[in-house]
């Protein structure tokens, strides 16, 4: 029986197997940030053990950082302390830190790929569930808890049982105005928020084959929103072209051999999956969410479904919606374009293309938060910054920002925010805030119109 992409990468990283127990899985790259690492460094201190492989770790400050005046000391004492602690820990353990003020700083899942750190066939972890993003390159990448961060520090390994495999195939051609974000929101809406638990997903078919790396990252990013630890896409020429020439990519001499190896990674044709789903690109339109988990998504034109389930009712009550409502035309006051899901240059190109020569609606606060310092620079270099500013959008400095509202970027209670982020949980963007997840295109269109519109109808 043939092997899947996932099998090939997993099997080549198994150090040892415990009888009736988990595997010892070797981890190639470990990304860390300020929020989920301090308690892991404390474990090392308690046990008086060193970091085994500091050169395989890359750190950045992203979750907690302000998106204004990053050159000044952070005002919030706890945030300042956490960011300072990261610097101290990295200094003590010889770990490379792209902290505030560094030209590589940014959201951990944006900088890994853009620096060429993320490569096919790797195992990667980070104390953040959206580590699944890196699977876009055909790597096994997943989020871990802080105890596991400490385990990787100490041993460069984790004890894990091999998850089951799932393949999601989407064939056909996406309609104009339908973006990778719509594809993943559609999949999660079809399968549900717990459908992937215990599985690692492979996305296959023409839609993903024809997708850019940025789009593939958006899709893999949200694998965790259906419960899957990670998602992967087979590496191909698009992947190799993206990696080539990046800061930490293999050198030109090494690249040829690497590519040969990477070309051996895609699933064998006779590989068997524990679960398979298949969708048609034609059925996918612009998507939005109406509830408080990412599985509660509908097409912009569609009505909110009905259910007697109490948790469903609670969710609609929080959002201020009723069963049967259509969200098209819903007035909104906040738009957030950013997060590890949609803050790469391609997202801002799509956004600026649409708004060029237009102005945002007067009532709307529209926030643009680039995923990294490099993306921020690119926005200016390509002249997108001027377009955003002329349209009345506010461009901030890189960080996780209003995706999880750990810093000052919060949506006020009761307000709707059309957001390109990944979670519409209660209070995620600030206590009482109501999040509507959408693609960058649907989000900017809402900013211009001051209400939700169907982009394919305009």
Partner 1 sequence: MEKFTRLQHTAIPLEIENVDTDQIIPARFLKATDRKGFGDNLFRDWRYDNNNNPISDFILNDPTYTGLILIAGNNFGCGSSREHAAWALTDYGFKVVISSFFADIFKGNALNNGLLPVQVKEEQLQTIFRAMKENPKCEFIIDLEQQFVEIPSIGFHIDFEINSYKKTCLINGYDDIDYLINNKNKIKEFERKRNA
Residues in contact with partner 1 by the rule CB under 8 A: 15-16, 18, 20-22, 24, 26, 35-36, 38-39, 42-43, 47, 49, 52, 63-64, 76, 78-79, 81-82, 85, 127-129, 131, 143-148, 150-151, 154-159, 161, 163, 193-194, 197-198, 224, 227, 229, 293, 309-311, 314, 404-406, 413, 423, 425-428, 431-432
For partner 1, which is the closer residue by CB, 135 or 215? 135
* Least distance to partner 1, CB of residue 411, Å: 13
Rounded Cα gap, residues 440 and 453, in angstroms: 13
CA dist list (Å): 369 to 310, 344, 419, 421? 36, 10, 11, 11
Q: Going by C-beta distance under 8 Å and a sequence separation of 6 or more, which residues neighbour residue 79? A: 64, 65, 66, 406, 407
C-alpha count within 13 angstroms, C-beta hemisphere, residue 275: 15
* Least distance to partner 1, CB of residue 457, Å: 32
Q: What is the DSSP string of 183-239?
A: HHHHHHHHH-TTTTTTEEEEEESHHHHTS-HHHHHHHHHGGGGGT-SEEE----HHH
SS3 of residue 74 by DSSP: coil
CA dist list (Å): 140 to 8, 112, 184, 409? 10, 14, 19, 32
* Least distance to partner 1, CB of residue 357, Å: 37
For partner 1, which is the closer residue by CB, 224 or 335? 224
For partner 1, which is the closer residue by CB, 19 or 270? 19
For partner 1, which is the closer residue by CB, 196 or 440? 196
SS3 of residue 32 by DSSP: strand
* Least distance to partner 1, CB of residue 200, Å: 10
- The DSSP secondary-structure symbol of 35 reads T
* Least distance to partner 1, CB of residue 128, Å: 6
CA dist list (Å): 131 to 106, 125, 136? 14, 6, 10
* Least distance to partner 1, CB of residue 438, Å: 19
* Least distance to partner 1, CB of residue 58, Å: 18
- Burial status of residue 164 (CB atoms within 10 A of its CB: 0-12, 13-18, 19 or more): middle
Rounded Cα gap, residues 152 and 284, in angstroms: 40
Cβ neighbour number for residue 76 with a 10 Å cutoff: 14
For partner 1, which is the closer residue by CB, 311 or 380? 311
For partner 1, which is the closer residue by CB, 352 or 401? 401
* Least distance to partner 1, CB of residue 32, Å: 12
SS3 of residue 29 by DSSP: strand
**Contact of 168 with 204, CB cutoff 8 Å:** yes
Rounded Cα gap, residues 74 and 68, in angstroms: 10
Q: Which two tokens stand for residue 159?
A: 């004890």
For partner 1, which is the closer residue by CB, 37 or 442? 37
**Contact of 13 with 140, CB cutoff 8 Å:** yes
Rounded Cα gap, residues 260 and 454, in angstroms: 44
* 128: enclosing H helix or E strand: none
For partner 1, which is the closer residue by CB, 56 or 456? 56
- The DSSP secondary-structure symbol of 402 reads G
* Least distance to partner 1, CB of residue 33, Å: 11
For partner 1, which is the closer residue by CB, 227 or 285? 227
* Least distance to partner 1, CB of residue 132, Å: 10
For partner 1, which is the closer residue by CB, 24 or 172? 24
* Least distance to partner 1, CB of residue 428, Å: 5
For partner 1, which is the closer residue by CB, 145 or 245? 145
- Burial status of residue 74 (CB atoms within 10 A of its CB: 0-12, 13-18, 19 or more): buried
């Amino acid at each position: 029986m043939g092997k899947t992409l996932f099998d090939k990468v997993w099997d080549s990283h198994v150090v040892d197997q415990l009888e009736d127990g988990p595997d010892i899985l070797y981890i190639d790259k470990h990304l860390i940030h300020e929020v989920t690492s301090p308690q892991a460094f404390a474990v090392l201190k308690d046990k008086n053990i060193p970091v085994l492989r500091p050169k395989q770790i890359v750190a950045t400050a992203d979750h907690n950082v302000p998106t204004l005046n990053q050159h000044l000391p952070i005002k919030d004492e706890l945030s300042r302390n956490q960011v300072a602690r990261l610097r101290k820990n990295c200094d003590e353990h010889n770990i490379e830190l792209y902290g505030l003020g560094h030209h590589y700083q940014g959201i951990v899942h944006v900088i890994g790929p853009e620096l060429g750190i993320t490569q096919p066939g790797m195992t990667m972890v980070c104390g953040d569930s959206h580590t699944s993003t890196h699977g876009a390159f055909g790597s096994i990448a997943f989020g871990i808890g802080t105890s596991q961060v400490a385990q990787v520090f100490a041993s460069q390994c984790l004890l894990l049982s091999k998850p089951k495999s799932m393949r999601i195939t989407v064939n056909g051609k996406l309609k104009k105005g339908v973006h990778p974000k719509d594809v993943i929101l559609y999949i999660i809406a079809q399968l549900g928020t717990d459908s992937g638990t215990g599985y690692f997903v492979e996305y296959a078919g023409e839609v993903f084959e024809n997708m850019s790396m940025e789009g593939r990252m958006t899709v893999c990013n949200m694998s965790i929103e259906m419960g899957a630890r990670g998602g992967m896409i087979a590496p191909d020429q698009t992947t190799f072209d993206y990696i080539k020439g990046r800061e930490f990519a293999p050198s030109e001499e090494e690249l040829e051999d690497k590519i040969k190896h990477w070309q051996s990674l895609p699933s064998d044709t006779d590989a068997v999956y524990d679960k398979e789903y298949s969708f048609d690109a034609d059925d996918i339109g612009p998507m939005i969410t109406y509830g408080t988990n990412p599985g509660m998504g509908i097409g912009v034109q569609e009505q909110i479904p009905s259910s007697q389930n109490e948790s469903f009712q609670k969710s609609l009550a929080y959002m201020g919606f009723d069963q049967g409502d259509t969200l098209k035309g819903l007035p909104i006051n906040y738009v957030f374009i950013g997060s590890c899901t949609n803050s790469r240059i391609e997202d801002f190109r799509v956004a600026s293309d649409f708004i060029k020569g237009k102005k945002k609606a007067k009532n709307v606060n529209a926030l643009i938060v680039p995923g990294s310092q490099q993306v921020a620079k690119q926005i200016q270099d390509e002249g997108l910054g001027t377009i955003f500013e002329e349209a009345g959008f506010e461009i901030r400095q890189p960080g996780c920002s209003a995706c999880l509202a750990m810093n000052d970027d919060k949506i006020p209670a009761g307000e709707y925010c059309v957001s390109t982020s990944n979670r519409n949980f209660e209070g995620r963007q600030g206590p009482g805030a109501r999040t509507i997840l959408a693609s960058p295109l649907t989000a900017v269109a809402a900013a211009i119109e001051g209400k939700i519109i169907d982009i394919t109808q305009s």
